């Protein structure tokens, strides 16, 4: 069984640009979660998508947005990038009735 896959692995952007990160959940998982892990810090909840809809979002500005496609894959978009957006962005997926996440390997976003 393929795990949660994220792309790209690394992404370097200039301040003010937009970044798009992608996530493919485990087959059969309908929920996708996005977390930000800044260097040396814990995981901060960004967004939760289920069945194509945004179910909940964390305490992040509106320039962090995303969507979930009919095949349950998801995109995270970060507009007007700031230096402090540099972090590891982790995607996770879960089954509807299973509360344990399976995380992807992450996308390391560097804003210069």
Partner 1 sequence: GENVEQHPSTLSVQEGDSAVIKCTYSDSASNYFPWYKQELGKRPQLIIDIRSNVGEKKDQRIAVTLNKTAKHFSLHITETQPEDSAVYFCAASLPDTGRRALTFGSGTRLQVQP
Q: Which residues bind partner 1 (CB under 8 A)?
A: 31, 33, 35, 41-45, 48, 50, 55-56, 58-59, 90, 94, 99-106
- Rounded to the nearest whole angstrom, what is the least distance from the CB of residue 110 to partner 1 in the complex? 16
- Rounded to the nearest whole angstrom, what is the least distance from the CB of residue 17 to partner 1 in the complex? 26
- Rounded to the nearest whole angstrom, what is the least distance from the CB of residue 107 to partner 1 in the complex? 12
Distances (CA, A) of 112 to 5, 14, 80, 86, 88: 25, 5, 12, 9, 15
45 vs 79, which CB is nearer to partner 1? 45
86 vs 101, which CB is nearer to partner 1? 101
User: How would DSSP label each residue in 29-91?
Assistant: --EEEEEEE-TTS-EEEEEEEETTEEEEE-S--TTEEEEE-TTS-EEEEE-S--GGG-EEEEE
């Amino acid at each position: 069984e393929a795990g949660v896959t994220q792309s790209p692995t690394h992404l370097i952007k200039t301040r003010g640009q937009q970044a798009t990160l992608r996530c493919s959940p485990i087959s059969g998982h309908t929920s996708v979660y996005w977390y930000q892990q800044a260097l040396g810090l814990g995981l901060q909840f960004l967004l939760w998508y289920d069945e194509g809809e945004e179910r909940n979002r964390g305490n992040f500005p509106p320039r962090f947005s995303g969507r979930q496609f009919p095949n349950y894959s998801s995109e995270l978009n970060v507009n007007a990038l700031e230096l402090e957006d540099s972090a590891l962005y982790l995607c996770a997926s879960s089954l509807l009735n299973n509360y344990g996440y399976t995380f992807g390997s992450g996308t390391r976003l560097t804003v210069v």
